[in-house]
């Protein structure tokens, strides 16, 4: 089976991606792909590519912010979550899962571009719920949408025993920082500090992931996933309406 | 100027006393501490007289006192010092209840003495620089704050609710609430919070996160905890990030440090070389008394910070926002 991964091009670290991941600009270019060899095609995340239906011949991987309720039935549509794919998040997840008790404080701060979908927050909640347990309670505050930057705060009490602040600033660049304070264990990450090239604006690292990771971690877009995601989307949409 | 110390229960008493001794125009008038062993030890260390009786101490000739007792005794000592006509610098939090704080402010006013609250973070150079940038309009309009004050479990009376009146949330909320109020010049009108005890198997809170809203719509988060352990490279942190319409700027009062690596259980140590906030606070208080001016950090400032910390407990217990 062949895979199509739709992704923002600056998100892919090709140096860390399997050699069988092939870059294409448009899904129409795949019409001639008739061999049976498994391949992964990486394509830009455009509205045109999102609308193109090649599901019968390809598994398609789209970001969680783009999936809609009517896309459940195909069985070949997969959803990937931005946060889940970052190598540093995987390391955090591995370390936290080793803890016997996941009691602690988790703080996440993301600065994202102005045009980022607000549903990214719902996607992050989905990913974090897998790590810390279902949110028992979510309180949301946001700044005046008419002013830039737009800032959103979520205070979440996860059922696994973690209290959390998730903060999003919609601005002109991307960065991410988080810290986990557990019992006798503290994990800290700041993408600005961990950039392997200085000045930071010369590289997208470490805010990148690879196509293999997307294929490996993606979730089948089934009814259960859509319902879970919609629950978090509702929380976020209600929060910003208040 | 003669200044006396009232109680060495709080570890900041040492920093404040050392700061007093650096000032050429100040004489340490003596130390009151009814924990006789602790008081005698402190008096020996700072080469001054120890008083085990509060009334005798307050009868001495002196201009001002610095109170570093257990939180629950702030009220008693402030009222006694005010009635003895001594100007007062009181360790934070001002008190353990709003009513006590209001009474302290009133009695100080009635007796014509200065009541200043010890928020030394206001005297951190990076915190002051950020304040100056805000005042010059370099951040534009403030949209949000993001603050932390996390440290180690101080133990002792701090984890005894009867003496402290609260744990990490009371201990570590008031500093950054004061800084946010100072930066913005506005009051907090709503507090949401989660308060719990996670890290030290103690009966008092050691973890808390607060979500705040100011009267002008600015929103804020605060993390106040005793989450750091002794092997962590430093005691903790004091940070504020200000998200403005022109730019976002973060200040970290404890960021200026060397990284020292060594063998042993603590392989990395941060050696702080930033400015001495305690000295800035004490110098300001002494100037305030000398000039008989209004304190830079008033009893009212202490009260407003206390209100937010207490509201955090109520919000967490009640599971809903507390309006102020």
Chain A interface disruption, residue of B243, B246, B252, B265, most A CBs within 10 A:
B243
Residues 6+ apart with CB under 8 A from A5: A21, A40, A41, A42, A43, A61, A80, A211, A214, A215
Q: ipTM score here? A: 0.94
Biggest alpha carbon–alpha carbon distance for chain B: 58
Peptide bond into A149 cis (omega under 30): yes
Q: Classify residue B156 as left (phi > 0), alpha (psi -120 to 50) or beta.
A: left
> Cβ–Cβ of B225/A105 closer than 8 Å?
yes
Mean pLDDT in residue range B119-138 = 98
B216 contacts B186 by C-beta, under 8 angstroms: yes
pLDDT in tens, A6-39: 999 889 888 777 767 888 888 888 877 777 777 8
* A139: chain B residues, CB-CB within 8 Å: 192, 211, 321
Say how far apart CA B277 and CA B289 lie, in whole Å. 19
Sign of the dihedral through C-alpha B293, B294, B296, B298: positive
Residue spans per domain, chain A: 2-80, 83-207+223-241
- Å from B118 to nearest chain A CA? 28
Say how far apart CA A122 and CA A125 lie, in whole Å. 5
Q: How many CB atoms lie within 10 A of CB B273?
A: 8
pLDDT value at position A200? Answer: 87
A7 contacts A200 by C-beta, under 8 angstroms: no
pLDDT value at position A33? Answer: 74
| A241 shares contact with chain B (CB less than 8 Å) | no
- Angle A183-A188-A191 from CA coordinates, rounded to 5°: 160
* B218: chain A residues, CB-CB within 8 Å: 143
> Cβ–Cβ of B144/A153 closer than 8 Å?
yes
Nearest in space to A181 (alpha carbons), one of A165, A197, A200: A165
pLDDT value at position A54? Answer: 57
| B97 shares contact with chain A (CB less than 8 Å) | no
> Cβ–Cβ of B227/A184 closer than 8 Å?
no
Chain A interface disruption, residue of B139, B146, B239, most A CBs within 10 A:
B146
Torsion angle in degrees (nearest 10) through CA of B37, B38, B42, B45: 60
Q: Regarding the domain delimited by A83-207+223-241, which CATH topology (the fold level of the hierarchy) does it fall under?
A: Dihydrodipicolinate Reductase; domain 2 (3.30.360)
Smallest Cβ distance to A163: which of B148, B209, B219? B209
Starting at the edge strand found earlier in the chain, the sheet holding B27-32 runs: B50-51, B27-32, B2-6, B64-67, B87-91, B115-118
pLDDT in tens, B117-128: 999 999 999 999
- Å from A68 to nearest chain B CA? 32
Say how far apart CA B306 and CA B175 lie, in whole Å. 10
> Cβ–Cβ of A167/B229 closer than 8 Å?
no
Task: Please give the model's pTM, rounded to 2 decimal places.
Answer: 0.95
A to B CB pairs, distance under 8 Å: 86
Q: How many CB atoms lie within 10 A of CB B15?
A: 19
**3-class secondary structure for chain B?**
CEEEEECCCCCHHHHHHHHHHHCCCCEEEEEECCCHHHHHHHHHHCCCCEECCHHHHHCCCCCEEEECCCHHHHHHHHHHHHHCCCEEEEECCCCCCHHHHHHHHHHHHHCCCCEEEECHHHHCHHHHHHHHHHHCCCCCCEEEEEEEEEEECCCHHHHCHHHHCCCHHHHHHHHHHHHHHHHHCCCEEEEEEEEECCCCCCCCCCEEEEEEEECCCCEEEEEEEEEECCCCCCCCEEEEEEEECCCEEEEECCCCEEEEECCCCCCEEEEECCCCHHHHHHHHHHHHHHHCCCCCCEHHHHHHHHHHHHHHHHHHHHCCCEEC
Tell me which long-range contacts A64-67 makes (C-beta under 8 A, separation of at least 24): A64/A119, A64/A122, A64/A123, A64/A126, A64/A229, A65/A117, A65/A119, A65/A120, A65/A123, A66/A6, A66/A117, A67/A221, A67/A226, A67/A229
pLDDT in tens, A54-77: 556 789 999 999 998 887 767 889
pLDDT value at position A139? Answer: 96
Coil/strand/helix, residue A5: strand
pLDDT value at position A2? Answer: 87
Q: CA-nearest residue of chain B to A169? A: B243
- Angle A151-B148-B90 from CA coordinates, rounded to 5°: 130
**Range with lowest mean pLDDT among A39-53, B21-35, B282-296:** A39-53
Domains and CATH numbers, chain B: 2-113 (3.40.50.720), 122-275+306-323 (3.30.360.10)
| B224 shares contact with chain A (CB less than 8 Å) | no
> Cβ–Cβ of A169/B219 closer than 8 Å?
no
Q: How large is the angle between the packed helices A87-97 and A120-132, nearest 10 degrees? A: 30
Nearest in space to B149 (alpha carbons), one of B74, B85, B212, B227: B227
pLDDT value at position A32? Answer: 73
> Cβ–Cβ of A165/B217 closer than 8 Å?
no
Is the predicted pLDDT of residue B189 greater than 70, yes or no?
yes
pLDDT value at position A240? Answer: 85
Residues 6+ apart with CB under 8 A from B303: B94, B98, B101, B102, B105
Name the B residues in 176-195 with CB < 8 Å from any A CB. Answer: 192, 194
Which residue blocks in A108-222 are alpha helix, DSSP H? 120-132, 211-217
| A193 shares contact with chain B (CB less than 8 Å) | no
| B255 shares contact with chain A (CB less than 8 Å) | no
Chain-centre distance for alpha carbon B210: 18
- Å from B230 to nearest chain A CA? 9
pLDDT in tens, B199-247: 999 999 999 999 999 999 999 999 999 999 999 999 999 999 999 999 9
Mean residue pLDDT of chain B comes to 97
Mean residue pLDDT of chain A comes to 90
Coil/strand/helix, residue A178: strand
- Å from B322 to nearest chain A CA? 13
Torsion angle in degrees (nearest 10) through CA of A25, A31, A37, A43: 20
Chain A interface disruption, residue of B143, B202, B316, most A CBs within 10 A:
B143
């Amino acid at each position: 089976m062949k895979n199509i991964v739709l992704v923002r091009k600056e998100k892919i670290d090709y140096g860390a991606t399997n050699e069988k991941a092939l870059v294409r600009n448009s899904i129409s270019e795949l019409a001639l792909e008739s061999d049976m060899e498994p391949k992964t095609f990486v394509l830009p995340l455009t509205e045109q590519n999102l609308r193109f239906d090649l599901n019968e011949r390809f598994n398609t991987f789209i970001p969680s912010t783009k999936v809609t309720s009517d896309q459940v039935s195909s069985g070949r549509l997969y959803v990937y979550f931005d946060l889940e794919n970052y190598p540093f998040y995987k390391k955090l997840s591995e370390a936290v899962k080793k803890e016997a008790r996941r009691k602690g404080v988790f703080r996440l701060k993301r600065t994202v571009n102005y045009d980022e979908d607000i549903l990214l927050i719902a996607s992050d909640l989905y990913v974090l719920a897998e790590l810390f347990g279902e949110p028992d309670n979510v309180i949301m505050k946001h700044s005046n949408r008419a002013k830039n930057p737009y800032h959103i705060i979520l205070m979440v009490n996860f059922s696994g025993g973690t209290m959390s602040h998730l903060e999003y600033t919609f601005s002109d660049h991307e960065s991410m920082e988080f810290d986990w304070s557990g019992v006798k264990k503290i994990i800290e990450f700041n993408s600005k500090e961990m950039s392997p090239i200085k000045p930071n604006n010369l590289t997208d690292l470490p805010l990148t992931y690879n196509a293999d990771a997307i294929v490996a971690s993606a979730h089948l877009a089934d009814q259960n996933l859509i319902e879970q995601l919609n629950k978090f989307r509702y929380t976020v949409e209600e929060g910003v309406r208040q | 100027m003669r200044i006396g110390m009232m109680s060495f229960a709080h570890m900041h008493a040492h920093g404040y006393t050392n700061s007093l001794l650096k000032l050429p125009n100040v004489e340490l008038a003596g130390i009151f501490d009814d924990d006789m062993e602790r008081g005698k030890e402190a008096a020996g260390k700072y080469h001054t007289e120890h008083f085990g009786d509060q009334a005798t101490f307050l009868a001495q000739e002196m201009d001002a006192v610095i109170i570093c007792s257990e939180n629950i005794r702030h009220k008693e000592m402030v009222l006694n010092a005010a009635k003895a006509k001594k100007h007062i610098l009181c360790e934070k939090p001002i008190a353990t209840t709003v009513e006590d704080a209001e009474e302290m402010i009133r009695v100080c006013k009635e007796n014509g003495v200065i009541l200043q609250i010890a928020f030394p973070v206001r005297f951190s150079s990076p915190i002051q620089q950020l304040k100056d940038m805000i005042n010059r309009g370099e951040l534009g309009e403030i949209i949000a704050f993001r603050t932390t004050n996390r440290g180690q479990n101080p133990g002792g009376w701090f984890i005894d609710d009867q003496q402290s009146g609260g744990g990490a949330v009371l201990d570590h909320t008031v500093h950054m609430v004061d800084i946010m109020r100072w930066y913005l010049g506005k009051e907090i009108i709503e507090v949401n919070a989660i308060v719990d005890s996670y890290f030290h198997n103690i009966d008092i809170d050691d973890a808390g996160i607060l979500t705040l809203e100011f009267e002008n719509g600015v929103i804020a988060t605060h993390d106040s905890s005793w989450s750091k352990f002794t092997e962590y490279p430093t005691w903790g942190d004091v940070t504020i990030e200000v998200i403005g319409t022109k730019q976002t700027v973060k200040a970290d009062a404890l960021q200026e440090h060397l990284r020292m690596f060594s063998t042993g259980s603590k392989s990395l140590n941060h050696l702080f070389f930033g400015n001495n906030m305690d000295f800035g606070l004490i110098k300001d208080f002494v100037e305030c008394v000398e000039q008989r001016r209004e304190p830079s950090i008033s009893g009212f400032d202490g009260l407003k910070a206390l209100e937010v910390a207490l509201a955090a407990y109520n919000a967490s217990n009640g599971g809903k926002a507390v309006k102020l």
